[in-house]
Amino acid sequence: MHLSKAVVQTEHASRYLQQLCKHWSHKFSVEFDPRKGRVPFSDTAEVTFAADDAALTMTLSVADPSQQERMQHVIDDHLKRFAFREELDIVWTN
């Protein structure tokens, strides 16, 4: 599996984690609580979330590295929609 990670500074990490997980729970078997979440997009791609008082940590795992950039964009796009009241700095690292 190929991993990438983004640590997004925000005081609203738990709220965003829960919004993202609830949003995707309509399509996927999502697991979450206020501090952690997991969204299995497929057998070959999933994202996990961890929230604390200062940041939302997102870890993307994909089997095919060609999926990585597209999946990062999907996650970023959804997070930005939920966090429209603040400017988030989302930087993925491998």
Q: Which domains does the chain show, CATH number per domain? A: 2-85 (3.30.310.50)
Q: Residue 94, class by beta-carbon neighbours within 10 Å (0-12 exposed, 13-18 middle, 19+ buried)? A: exposed
Residues 82, 22: Cα–Cα separation, whole Å: 12
Residues 93, 30: Cα–Cα separation, whole Å: 24
Q: What is the rounded average pLDDT for all residues in the chain?
A: 97
Tell me which residues of the chain have a pLDDT lower than 50. none
What pLDDT sits at residue 65?
Answer: 92
